[in-house]
Amino acid sequence: MHFRTICRIVGLLLIIFSVTMIVPSLVSIIYKEDTGIAFIKTFICAQIIGFLFWAPNFKEKNELQTREGFLIVVLFWIVLGSVGALPFLFLKYPNLSITNAFFESFSGLTTTGATILFNLDKLPQSILFYRQMLQWFGGMGIIVLALAILPILGTGGMQLYKAEMPGPLKDNKMQPRIAETAKILWLIYVALTFLCALSLWFAGLPIIEAIGHSFSTVSIGGFSTHDENIGFYKNTNVEIIISIFLIISGCNYSLHFFAFSKKKINIYYKDMEFRIFFLIQITLIIISFLTLLKFSDDSTFNLDLFNKVFFQVISISTTAGFTSDKISNWPTYLPILLIISSCIGSCSGSTGGGIKVIRIILLYLHWSTELKKIIHPNAIYSIKINDYAISEKIIKNILCFILSYILILIISTLILISTGIDYFSSFSSVAATLNNVGIGFGVVENNFFNLNDFSKWILILTMLFGRLEIFTLLIILTPTFWRE
């Protein structure tokens, strides 16, 4: 394994990330806040650490193999989350412990959106903007950005792309060259962010909050600048805009590219994963609305209630985790249903979390095929998605992924229970972080501050498992990975 090449690339990526600290520094200057020094200190620290990784190894340019790709991505995300915590440690207010600073940083970068902060309305704008910015860079991924802007990473870049991007069908590229694919992904991402920010601004949000919430919407992150989250605005137009962009962002980005390049909107309808994803949203909205209507005083159609349900269901099922209502007041089975929907999550190749809709579809098709084989043992069946045959290798990969997902969910929940947290809160916390949805129930309904430090570190680990699609992190923990 080429460790010096790995160090060179990690150092280079960290130097790129350090430049992002200039933006919240400028925000602090604009709003005349004294927080800018914390971001400048972080910029300097990240530059130094990145230089120490890169400088001794800058001549090492070996082609990356699969193992190196996995290790670079995991190592970089750990270093990235650690450096991202520095501004919270340098700031006098909020005065965060090391554990809480790391939790907030990793929650932002993994687009989980779980927070340990409260009194958000009193925090400086630069800190609030920084949290949103972390989610935006974490949404599409710093490594994908680096592949787009640095030809130097082109050698073995596919290994990095596969290790960071979500979904089981990672060999499907929009362009032959991986750098071109990365550029297209980021262009779509930036365009959606701009349109979302503009729409929120027109809907009445201050420009800084419109930009911040466009960051956390398009990245499907869920951080807000207020304790009441989106409910603070009491603005139906804002909720509708965010919901629409969550659905767009929860869609496979390759569909956006082909729909735009071929000028055919029916590409979305032709895609099985998107059809099922859309059907899940509609079904959940109808079930939730009818349930709440049944338990309300007025059983006639209520537009305000429908809007609230529409926003909340899409927010959780796409794994954003924005809130506009106190969901704990809903009938008990609805929060559980929404937690399950967040486990399914968004489409592959999107910025959303969860298992991904495509894996659930393929799991169902495999189950259906196996039942048919019992009845007709000599028949030959093939599993197809959008007229493409799915190999047995991918099916085995998906089965292994879902088994790993269930084991991590169960083991992490049991660990949290062993620390004294109640069963439902433990399960809710792990589901919130593993699915990168952020919203919890029970003792973590408002935020995660009151959890013990050990539990927070376990949840940081589950955030990484969720963002890196389990295998990327799990594989480096196996002895086989380290054998030559």
- 220 marked among binding-site residues: yes
Provide the sign of the torsion angle of the four alpha carbons 234, 219, 131, 22, taken in this order: negative
- Residue that is written with structure tokens 């400086």 in the block: 124
- 42 marked among binding-site residues: no
- 349 marked among binding-site residues: no
- 181 marked among binding-site residues: no
Q: How many other CB atoms sit within 10 Å of the CB of residue 33?
A: 15
- 319 marked among binding-site residues: yes
| Inter-residue contact 6 to 49 (CB < 8 Å) | no
- 320 marked among binding-site residues: yes
Query: What's the token pair of residue 344?
Result: 């399914």
DSSP state of 117: -
Query: What's the token pair of residue 220?
Result: 């499907």
- 112 marked among binding-site residues: yes
Any long-range contacts for 286-293 (C-beta under 8 Å, 24+ apart)?
287/337, 288/312, 288/313, 288/330, 288/334, 288/337, 288/338, 291/330, 291/331, 291/333, 291/334, 292/330, 292/331, 292/334
- 235 marked among binding-site residues: no
If you count them, how many residues does the chain have?
Answer: 484
DSSP structure string for 396-448: HHHHHHHHHHHHHHHHHHHHHHHTT--HHHHHHHHHHHHTT-----GGGSS-S
- The pair phi, psi for residue 320, each rounded to 5°, is -75, -55
- Give all strands (DSSP E) within 291-343, no chain letters: none
Q: Which residues are annotated as a binding site for K(+)?
A: 111-112, 220-221, 319-320, 436-437
Q: Which residues are annotated as a binding site?
A: 111-112, 220-221, 319-320, 436-437
